[in-house]
Amino acid sequence: MTLDLPKESLVKMYRKMLEIRFFEEKVFGLYGQNLVPGTIHLYAGEEAVAVGVCSALSKDDYITSTHRGHGHCIAKGADLKRTMAEILGKKTGYCKGKGGSMHIADFSIGMLGATAVVGAGLPIAVGAGLSARLRKTGQVVACFFGEGASNQGTFHESINMASAWKLPVIFVCENNLYAMGTRQSRIMNIENIADRAVSYGIPGVSVDGNDVLAVYEAACVAVERARRVEGPTLIECKTYRQKGHSRVDPAKYRPREEVEGWLQRDPIKRLRHKLIQTVISTEAELQEIEKEVSSEIEDAVKFAVESTFPAPEEALEDVYAQI
């Protein structure tokens, strides 16, 4: 963890990670109150990945996301209210209630949306990268996916294509060790997903995904490479989801010591500790931020809960664009 960034940037990262964590805790709570339809996949514990990567992007860069997408949205700058409203199925949500937790998008900030088909976002990210190339905009695309997704055919096809065409795409593998109840070692014979970069002749790096600055640095290197038209990078971020896979999952397949070890390496705690230790921030400052974020999230919940549901007939809209 190198801390040679301006204080402002560090604190911003801290705040973003906190937003995600508090947001997810609320979603979890609302779920218990039966206010969240369907299912949820929480990002708690993995905040450093989304925030580290998105901090290296500019607003008009793109990202693509997954079933575990709340954190990606927030890190890219999505409005907390509309994100929460979407998760609750409200008309004020980003997708007017059509998408829900697994399909949030905010095209106005380059968040090209979450797909619930594991691995399906990779070729779409390649297309966005190709589009940036053809339109000569200099934009880059960060594509998030899990280590489980890295066994989908689309992983292979997409990275190969992006590499052959030297497209500005950053493939960010969130290796949280499990795909549902399936531990990585049971379904692949390698430890580092980053090694798969060899297949495409591109750089592959493994970083501590619970260290936001490590992620940030790797992402910056990849973004620069992309903007220099040198092609994609595969970044593997080793991290851990603190909750079960989805709402119903008690995650009993994970050894207790493993969970506890990762909780101790909580990315938010770690950054907080560093900020204090290096006297970049004071306890009071950070508490102030925590209070602010907490109240922002309360506002988002209030907004979402009070918003109305879409009218049933709206189900028939948006199938085709009319013009």
Partner 1 sequence: MRKITYRDALREALREEMLRDSSVFLLGEDIGRYWGGAFKVTDGLAQEFGDERVRDTPISESAIIGTAVGAAITGMRPVAEIMFGDLTALAMDQIANQAAKIRYMFGGQTKCPLVIRTPFGAGVNIASHHSQSLEAWFMHVPGLYVAVPSTPYDAKGLLKTAIRGSNPVFFCEHKLLYPIEGEVPEEEYTIPFGKAEVKREGADVTVVATMYMVHKALSAAKQLEKEGLSVEIVDPRTLTPLDRRAIVASVRKTGRIVVVSEDCKTAGVSAEIAAVVAEEALDYLDAPVKRVAEPDTPIPFSPPLEQHVIPDEKAIIKAIKEVV
Ligand X SMILES: Cc1ncc(C[n+]2csc(CCOP(=O)(O)OP(=O)(O)O)c2C)c(N)n1
Q: Would you tell me which residues interact with a second copy (CB under 8 A)? A: 151-157, 160-161, 163-164, 186-190, 195-196, 198-202, 231
Within 191-250, the residues that bind partner 1 by CB under 8 A are none
Within 166-225, the residues that bind ligand X by CB under 6 A are 174, 176, 178-180
Q: Would you tell me which residues interact with Mg ion (CB under 5 A)? A: 146-148, 176, 179
Token pair recorded at residue 133:
């190339």
d(CA 186, CA 215): 26
d(CA 53, CA 214): 10
309 touches partner 1 by CB under 8 A: yes
Within 30-89, the residues that bind partner 1 by CB under 8 A are 37-39, 62, 64, 89
Within 53-72, the residues that bind ligand X by CB under 6 A are 67-68
Q: Which does 176 bind (CB under 5 to 8 A by kind): a second copy, ligand X, partner 1, none?
A: ligand X
Three-class SS of residue 123? helix
Q: What is the DSSP string of 14-83?
A: HHHHHHHHHHHHHHHHHHHTT-S-S-----TT-HHHHHHHHHTS-TTSEEEE-SS-HHHHHHHT--HHHH
The β-bridge relationship of strands 182-183 and 233-238 is unpaired
Q: Which does 100 bind (CB under 5 to 8 A by kind): partner 1, ligand X, a second copy, none?
A: partner 1
Interface map 86-125 toward partner 1 (x if CB under 8 A) = ---xx--xxxxxxxx-xx-xxx----xx-xxxxxx-xxxx
Q: Which does 68 bind (CB under 5 to 8 A by kind): partner 1, Mg ion, ligand X, none?
A: ligand X
Nearer to partner 1, 106 or 266 (CB): 106
Which residue type occupies 300?
A
Number of residues forming the site for ligand X (CB under 6 A): 16
- State the DSSP code for 310: P
- State the DSSP code for 167: -
Q: In the chain, how many H helices and how many E strands? A: 11, 8
Which helix (H) or strand (E) segment is 146 a member of?
Answer: strand 141-146
**Other Cβ atoms closer than 10 A to 160:** 16
Contact 281, 270 (CB under 8 A): no
Nearer to partner 1, 21 or 90 (CB): 90
The residue within the footprint of ligand X, chosen from 146, 231, 244, 310 (CB under 6 A), is 146
- State the DSSP code for 106: B
Instruction: Report the half-sphere exposure of 224 (CA within 13 A, side-chain side).
Output: 5
299 touches partner 1 by CB under 8 A: no
* Distance in Å, CB of 5 to ligand X, minimum: 27
Residue of 185, 178, 239, 186 whose CA lies nearest to 209: 239
Q: Which does 292 bind (CB under 5 to 8 A by kind): ligand X, Mg ion, a second copy, none?
A: none
Nearer to partner 1, 10 or 80 (CB): 80
Site for ligand X, rule CB under 6 A: 67-68, 116-119, 146-149, 174, 176, 178-180, 245
